[in-house]
A and B are shown apart, each in its own frame.
Chain A
Amino acid sequence: MPLWFIRGLRRGVVTTRYPATPDGSAAALPTPPAFRPGELTRDVTDRIVAVCPSAALARHGDVLIFDAGNCTACGRCAAAAPDAVTSSGEWELAATARSALRKEIPILGERS
């Protein structure tokens, strides 16, 4: 009997680690934005909301709503406000609930 089968029964782990090895090609993938709340003002936020073609961004008062489920990682927001928006480098976005993809980012730039 293969040893991996016995190990799996003993430890309760039946898959390999994920990822089994780091995937270097992932570095070339476009990834959703990451935001610097201290650099976000209402004006900057309205600018990046306006350029988002897939309605992944919205502003509610002093909060930026980012819906990663709508984001196509096109990079337009980062190009429009490079000081406030960077690429997250995060490309594995699986979540068990749709709501988990919706983030609320405080707009702190005007307060500083």
Chain B
Amino acid sequence: MTTHAHAIHGTVTTRVPAEDLERVTADLAKTPGIRLADMFASDGDTTVLRLVWVRDSGYLLTETEIQNDHYPPLSDIAPAAFVEECEIYEQFGIRPATGKPLNRLMLPPHAGPEFPRLGHRPAEPLDEAHAPHTVGGQAFEFPFGPVRQVGVESLYYGLVTSGEEVVDLYLFAWHKHRGVEWRLRGRTPREATFWVERAEGLSAVAVGWAFAAAAEAALGIAPPAAAARTRAVALELERLYNHAAATAALCQATGLTVGQSAAEIALERLLRVNAAAFGHRYLFGVVSPGGADRAPDASLLRRELPGAYGELRRAAEALLRTNSFVDRLEATGILSAEQARRLGLVGPVARATGLPVDARLTADGPYGEHPVTVVTAEGGDVLARFQVMLGEAAESVRLIGEFLDAGTAADRTALPRGGGNGLGWAESPRGEALAWVALDETGRIIRARLRPGSVRNWRGFDDACLSQNAFTDIPIIEASFWLTAAGLAR
């Protein structure tokens, strides 16, 4: 590894020459305790490829200038990089040098030369709808989506099946592509927050916090401590309502309408607590670069939250005593710790395999003062994921109490005029959310990368659906992942 390493806000950045990129990636990928968290590109005089690695002590960012539109096939070394290789080719026209098949992921098939991209158009636009899938023997491909049941986002499943067993599964999410990263260019971080929160609305606080932290790192500032605790209260409320929603979705997927109603009552109460405490059911408008724009009503939270959470706990306890529910969750959608590590999975999905992956562990600020107890399980199945969510909901209530006792406020550190680059992160209900921002001298965004937790975990969904699982297990597995198409197709 090379040169010019420097550390800002818990992130070490280092330049890696293109000829060393393959070797450095291989070394890092096989180092215990290090995982690849993201890979993205930015355009300027040259295209720069950045890889984000996570260690116990913080984040490592490597930067490599790419010449001739080619770079080493990194997903052959670190499989977690494949989705990003596809996305980078669509947006920037650079691809692995081996010419390996890439999937169409983000941009629709009709995306012509005039279609807004972050970089330049691929020299050979992808004609194939997806990388070739072998369909042999009695197997056939069963298309499902993008229009699905009411209330579920547009998402296309390509199911390869022999009739009942899932042989292969791939996803298209480009029906929902909104070009959020493209829309952020030229805006100030404060202006951009509106779009950032909407990249994955169910993780508005987490993605907003990651983005705000990235902008703060770029500008060399930190939010006031009380404002950081305000963000943390909102983040844990976001986790609570998402885990309640996942519980309701699990009941729906297993056909338990009474359990679904009980979980949805808990969900509605939690959303009303959000609205009463912060003025928005989904907690939009709380996080702002430099601090927080809204402070919670602490007395209301202390009064109302125990009842709303108690509703969820009672529903969950009843579900765990219901054999017809537990039987559908046990041994369904199993992922091993090795699969989770290899694919770079995050959040409850990774923690249910025993991996203590949690961005709150590498965060300073409120989580440094009030450490989180990371909940893990060993089974790697849907039941383990459900149990992790329930444990995390209890932990969120405890943390919210501590943050409120320590004091919260709507307060901001002024953003200085100037430029720079920065990386930020936060632990969303569905796992680590990352953001990287480059600002010009006037403080406007040149390039913003948003990587919600869903982007990582969808790549584990097909593995979880394969082998031993039938069609009817897929909605159960999807509910236990509790991901969004929006986060992937931002």
Contact = CB atoms under 8 A, between A and B. Distances in A.
Interface of A: 25, 28-30, 53-54, 72, 74-75
Given A53-B194, A53-B195, A74-B194, A29 B285 contact: no
Contact of B284 (A25, A54, A74): A74
Given A25-B275, A53-B191, A74-B194, 12 more contacts: A28-B272, A28-B275, A28-B279, A29-B275, A29-B281, A30-B279, A53-B194, A53-B195, A54-B194, A72-B284, A74-B284, A75-B285
Pick the 8 closest A-B CB pairs, nearest first.
A28-B275, A53-B194, A28-B276, A25-B272, A30-B280, A29-B275, A30-B279, A74-B285
Indicate the size class of the contact surface on chain B: 10 to 19
Contacts of B275: 25, 28-29
Interface of B: 191, 194-195, 272, 275-276, 279-281, 284-285
Contacts of A74: 194, 284-285
B276 A25 contact: yes
21 contacts: A25-B272, A25-B275, A25-B276, A28-B272, A28-B275, A28-B276, A28-B279, A29-B275, A29-B281, A30-B279, A30-B280, A30-B285, A53-B191, A53-B194, A53-B195, A54-B194, A72-B284, A74-B194, A74-B284, A74-B285, A75-B285
Nearest to A51: B191
A53 B280 CA distance: 17
A72 B275 CA distance: 15
Nearest to B277: A28
A28 B301 CA distance: 14
Contacts of A28: 272, 275-276, 279
Nearest to B294: A75
A75 B194 CA distance: 11
A28 to B, nearest CB: 4
Contacts of A30: 279-280, 285
A29 B278 CA distance: 10
Contacts of A25: 272, 275-276
A30 B276 CA distance: 10
B281 to A, nearest CB: 7
A70 to B, nearest CB: 13
Nearest to B278: A28
B276 to A, nearest CB: 5
Nearest to B192: A53
Contacts of A53: 191, 194-195
A25 B281 CA distance: 10
Contacts of B194: 53-54, 74
A98 to B, nearest CB: 21
Interface hub of A28, A30, A53, A74 (most chain B Cβ within 10 A): A28
A53 B183 CA distance: 11
Contacts of B195: 53
Contacts of B276: 25, 28
Contacts of A75: 285
Nearest to A28: B275
A74 B195 CA distance: 12
A106 B322 CA distance: 61
Contacts of B191: 53
A74 B191 CA distance: 12
Contacts of A72: 284
Nearest to A52: B194
Contacts of B279: 28, 30
Nearest to A29: B275
